[in-house]
Structure 1
Amino acid sequence: MSQVLKLWNTTTAIPVVGKRLFSVAFAQKAPYFATIRPRFTVIEPNRAELVIPKRRGVHNHIKTVHAIALCNGLEAAMGALAEATIPADKRWIPKGMDIAYTAKATSDITCIAETDPEQWTSGDPDLHVRVRGEREDGVVVIEGVIKLWVTPKAR
């Protein structure tokens, strides 16, 4: 089991504050993630979800959640998914993102990252993580893929 999944399982066992503890710890590993104040809600192999609270610090000029804040949330969800899913003998690095902004982000946004189990064992180093962000009413405001490069760990 990966360190991220172990930390998730350990912290979420703590009533009330467990998910928040994990979210703060995760953002300390890559401090830029802290700028969106992610609240992780799901971490499991092949799926991760977090919420970006709609607040002034992530607003754009029309007071919706800024496009780059949304991308930051998708990247954080993807990173948690990758760490929770990748086989122990492999490593990953992001190599690109193809994103479409599909609606205004007028509420808190749930960022979701998903893969299929066979993607991690196929031998193809190009792995596409499906990502999307949804408003509280279920409308998708951003969607696309984050492209990973997955290779064997150096020995």
Structure 2
Amino acid sequence: MSNKSAVLTAWRTFKRLPFGNWLFTKVVCFKAPYFGSMKPYVLDLRDGHCSAVVKNRRRVHNHIGTIHAIAQCNLAELCAGVMVDATVPYKTHRWIPKCMTANYLAKVDTDVTAVAEIPMPRQWLDKEDLVVPVKLYNTRNELVFTADITMYITKKTEKKK
């Protein structure tokens, strides 16, 4: 049996289908419903990498008509979480978000694409703080937001019988 996560297995299955990225994104948003509020679209997923986009639409706007700061944080957390879930060896380790540091560099007045990426391959430790850098770009390819999301990685404990 493969040591690939269910998320990565699902991604590889769905991406071969018509509208596969859309279907995969719907599954992610069903599992974590709050992400659905911004209607994201996962573009790519592989070990150590995830990218997704959010359209510039009214539902994610703030009072000045640009993409809200919290929508940017949500997109960053979506990419980081999906990437970590697809990358951490699911049989031996688990993860949970621990903290986020966000930097708003410019108003976001276009669609926005997030990229979460960590160097691969890597060794997975127990009780490790993994800092996942996430960058958001507007459609002019300008960096508009950065975040460092700390994921707490631990080894799974064996269940006592």
Q: Tell me the TM-score normalised to structure 1 length.
A: 0.95
- Structure 1's unaligned 5+ residue stretches are none
2:147 aligned with 1:144, yes or no? yes
Residue in 1 aligned with 2:37?
35
What is the aligned-residue identity percentage?
36
Residue in 2 aligned with 1:92?
95
Runs of 4+ in 1 over 2 A off after TM superposition: 117-124
Offset at 1:122? 5.0
- Asked whether the 8 Å contact 1:43–1:49 carries over to 2, the reply is yes
Q: How does 1:42-81 map to 2 (within 5 A)?
A: 42-81=44-83
Say which of 110, 133, 140 aligns to 1:107: 110
- Asked whether the 8 Å contact 1:119–1:127 carries over to 2, the reply is no
Tell me the distance in 1 between the aligned counterparts of 2:123 and 2:54.
27
Q: Which amino acid aligns with 1:150?
A: I
Equivalent pairs, count: 154
Offset at 1:59? 0.2
Tell me the distance in 1 between the aligned counterparts of 2:40 and 2:51.
10
Offset at 1:124? 6.0
What are the superposed Cα offsets for residues 87-140 of structure 1, whole Å, 9 maximum, x if unpaired? 230110111001100011110100111111255525560110011110011111
Tell me the distance in 2 between the aligned counterparts of 1:101 and 1:120.
32
CA RMSD of aligned residues (A): 1.3
Q: Which amino acid aligns with 2:82?
A: A
Tell me the distance in 2 between the aligned counterparts of 1:91 and 1:120.
14
- Structure 2's unaligned 5+ residue stretches are none
Tell me the distance in 1 between the aligned counterparts of 2:119 and 2:73.
21
Offset at 1:144? 2.2
Counterpart of 2:82 in 1: which secondary structure? helix
